[in-house]
A and B are shown apart, each in its own frame.
Chain A
Amino acid sequence: MWRDPEPQQHYDVIIIGAGHGMAAAYYLAKVYGIRKVAVLEKGWLGSGNTGRNTTIIRSNYLLPGNEPFYEFSMKLWEGLEQDFNFNAMVSQRGILNLFHSDPQRDAFARRGNSMLLAGADAVLLDENLIRKMCPFLDYENARFPVKGALWQPRGGTVRHDAVVWGYARGADRLGVDIIQNCEVTGFDIQDGVCRGVETTKGPIKANNVGVSVAGSSSKVMAQAGMRLPMESHVLQAFVSEGLKPCLPGVITFGAGHFYVSQSDKGGLVFGGDLDGYNSYAQRGNLPTVEDVCEGGMAIMPMIGKARLLRMWGGLMDMSMDGSPIIDKTHISGLYFNGGWCYGGFKATPASGYCMAHLLATDEPHHTATAFRFDRFNKGLMIDEKGVGAQPNLH
């Protein structure tokens, strides 16, 4: 699929982290013609958050700083398999965000309008239409009856590791060196200019260095002397045993925090809230498991019949406003991509594209101009939930 090269002494661009970073390397080589590129990965491809997500794609954001970016990502998903000639199993079965009250209907209608303005698709469904699509939901639930949903038909799921394999193969064929089992241990910064990195495979020089290691961003950027507006949190996810097809697409609970889809193997893939405390452990605790399962039982009681096959925890860069950062740093030649909270998977193509644009041109891509470091200092937060600087609430 791809070569396993030893690192060269010098590259035009080094990208740390082979998740979003692999997409960035692919677009750097393909769109921007910069091919002397290395992607450094601490483990093996797919060993980090690439293998620790719930594979959902959607572009149903509200705020103008976010929505055009996520819609750009959705359009890239739609052409991705043709673009890198690899079957990523992009499956646009739709995403249903259920609502359970009149005020929530109003809020979702507003969100839908915001999506339409950015060129995305959104349909407000009433209860009768959802009954036809999802007869198994608990419509008469005493506390949270299902009143309708905001539906994005173009949402869906993608095979998570096929995404990074497709990008890796594409980037490798364009000349990008993918260097696995190579952990960055420091930056070579002199007089405010980043000239390369120190790694477990020795020092490597570069004109520009891009960091995209969401989950561990604080740890890596601390090596460059930076403190970030972020906390690392653990998010758990779950897969049931394989079942016959029963879910039409992605379904999310509007009154608690629960989302579920069905994988192509038949397992129900679901998750909910963060555990809520700083963690680098890649595993969570039982109270959150209980909370997620209660959410599932509240909207679709039939899930109680399924047995849990496996569960895992991934590390989330929880930023102070719930939105990401794709920006230069105050150190010349050092660029940063992170703060994806728990929305990183759907953003992969656009995140890579915008990172590549930034690395190639030194200017932000037009869909990512709001994802700046200085937005906290300037009061320009992109806070979708409006909960303030409290990362475990985003």
Chain B
Amino acid sequence: MIIDHPLLGPRDAAEFVYLGDASLIDRPDLNNPEAGKEFFEYLYLRDNPEGIHRELWYHEQGDRSWLVVTRNTLTHEILNVELARQVALAMGR
């Protein structure tokens, strides 16, 4: 797979480390009354879809940026690549 890095251009996926579902950006607030349940779901439960999946990749062998990659889990086709920082800012985090 080739990941088209927004800053560095196309890079081999072997340069990256995979973390998982991009929902991991949206960490629950520890002070919420339901925080126990929310952290259980955040840490352990996944949608794990067949098809379009947004996921976090870390450019360990490169510029060490975190990326949000939108990829089809059925075909391995990469549809979109964003800087995770900008995704997080857009979410108001």
Q: Give A residues with C-beta under 8 Å from B.
A: 216, 218-219, 222, 227-232, 276-281, 285, 287, 320, 376-377, 389-392
Instruction: Please state if A320 and B44 are interface contacts (CB–CB under 8 Å).
Output: yes
Other-chain residue from B43, B44, B48 in contact with A218 (beta carbon distance below 8 A): B48
Instruction: Please state if A227 and B47 are interface contacts (CB–CB under 8 Å).
Output: yes
Other-chain residue from A230, A285, A390, A391 in contact with B76 (beta carbon distance below 8 A): A285
Q: Give B residues with C-beta under 8 Å from A.
A: 1, 12-14, 18-21, 40-41, 43-51, 53, 55, 71, 73-76
Q: How far is A228 from B44 in the complex, measured between Cα atoms in Å?
A: 8
Instruction: Please state if B55 and A277 are interface contacts (CB–CB under 8 Å).
Output: yes
Q: How far is A222 from B45 in the complex, measured between Cα atoms in Å?
A: 12
Other-chain residue from A230, A285, A376 in contact with B48 (beta carbon distance below 8 A): A230
With both chains docked as a complex, state the minimum distance between the C-beta of B82 and any C-beta of chain A, in angstroms: 17
- Chosen A-B contacts, 22 in total, with CB atoms closer than 8 Å, are A222-B47, A227-B46, A228-B45, A229-B44, A229-B45, A231-B21, A231-B48, A232-B73, A276-B18, A277-B71, A278-B53, A278-B73, A279-B73, A281-B73, A281-B75, A281-B76, A320-B44, A376-B40, A377-B40, A389-B43, A389-B44, A392-B18
Q: How far is A218 from B49 in the complex, measured between Cα atoms in Å?
A: 8
Instruction: Please state if B74 and A278 are interface contacts (CB–CB under 8 Å).
Output: no
Most buried by A among B13, B48, B73, B76: B48
Q: How far is A376 from B48 in the complex, measured between Cα atoms in Å?
A: 17
Q: How far is A277 from B13 in the complex, measured between Cα atoms in Å?
A: 10
Residue numbers in A under 8 Å from B47 (CB-CB)? 218, 222, 227
Q: How far is A52 from B12 in the complex, measured between Cα atoms in Å?
A: 27
Instruction: Please state if B18 and A277 are interface contacts (CB–CB under 8 Å).
Output: yes
Instruction: Please state if B46 and A228 are interface contacts (CB–CB under 8 Å).
Output: yes
Q: How far is A376 from B47 in the complex, measured between Cα atoms in Å?
A: 16
| In the complex with contacts A278-B53, A278-B55, A279-B76, A230-B46 CB distance below 8 A | yes
With both chains docked as a complex, state the minimum distance between the C-beta of A12 and any C-beta of chain B, in angstroms: 31
Most buried by A among B18, B44, B53, B76: B44
The residue of chain A having its C-beta at the shortest distance from the C-beta of B17 within the complex is A276
Q: How far is A277 from B75 in the complex, measured between Cα atoms in Å?
A: 12
Residue numbers in B under 8 Å from A231 (CB-CB)? 20-21, 46, 48
Instruction: Please state if A285 and B44 are interface contacts (CB–CB under 8 Å).
Output: no
Residue numbers in A under 8 Å from B51 (CB-CB)? 280
Instruction: Please state if B40 and A287 are interface contacts (CB–CB under 8 Å).
Output: no
The residue of chain A having its C-beta at the shortest distance from the C-beta of B15 within the complex is A287
| In the complex with contacts A280-B73, A281-B74, A376-B40, A218-B18 CB distance below 8 A | no
Question: Other than the known A229-B44, A278-B48, what 16 A-B pairs have Cβ atoms closer than 8 Å?
Answer: A216-B50, A218-B46, A218-B47, A218-B49, A227-B41, A229-B45, A276-B18, A278-B21, A281-B74, A281-B75, A281-B76, A376-B40, A376-B44, A377-B44, A390-B19, A392-B20
Q: How far is A64 from B74 in the complex, measured between Cα atoms in Å?
A: 37
Residue numbers in B under 8 Å from A377 (CB-CB)? 40, 44
With both chains docked as a complex, state the minimum distance between the C-beta of A204 and any C-beta of chain B, in angstroms: 23
| In the complex with contacts A287-B13, A390-B20, A280-B46 CB distance below 8 A | no
The residue of chain B having its C-beta at the shortest distance from the C-beta of A291 within the complex is B14
The residue of chain A having its C-beta at the shortest distance from the C-beta of B14 within the complex is A287
Q: How far is A353 from B16 in the complex, measured between Cα atoms in Å?
A: 41
Instruction: Please state if B1 and A285 are interface contacts (CB–CB under 8 Å).
Output: yes
Q: How far is A216 from B19 in the complex, measured between Cα atoms in Å?
A: 20
Q: How far is A285 from B74 in the complex, measured between Cα atoms in Å?
A: 13
Residue numbers in A under 8 Å from B18 (CB-CB)? 276-277, 392
With both chains docked as a complex, state the minimum distance between the C-beta of B55 and any C-beta of chain A, in angstroms: 7
Instruction: Please state if B20 and A391 are interface contacts (CB–CB under 8 Å).
Output: yes
Residue numbers in B under 8 Å from A232 (CB-CB)? 48, 50, 73
Residue numbers in B under 8 Å from A277 (CB-CB)? 13, 18, 55, 71
Residue numbers in B under 8 Å from A390 (CB-CB)? 19-20
Residue numbers in B under 8 Å from A222 (CB-CB)? 47
With both chains docked as a complex, state the minimum distance between the C-beta of B56 and any C-beta of chain A, in angstroms: 10
Residue numbers in A under 8 Å from B45 (CB-CB)? 227-229
Residue numbers in A under 8 Å from B43 (CB-CB)? 320, 376, 389
With both chains docked as a complex, state the minimum distance between the C-beta of B36 and any C-beta of chain A, in angstroms: 9
Residue numbers in B under 8 Å from A320 (CB-CB)? 43-44
Residue numbers in B under 8 Å from A276 (CB-CB)? 18
Q: How far is A292 from B88 in the complex, measured between Cα atoms in Å?
A: 36
Residue numbers in A under 8 Å from B49 (CB-CB)? 218
With both chains docked as a complex, state the minimum distance between the C-beta of B74 and any C-beta of chain A, in angstroms: 5
With both chains docked as a complex, state the minimum distance between the C-beta of B22 and any C-beta of chain A, in angstroms: 11
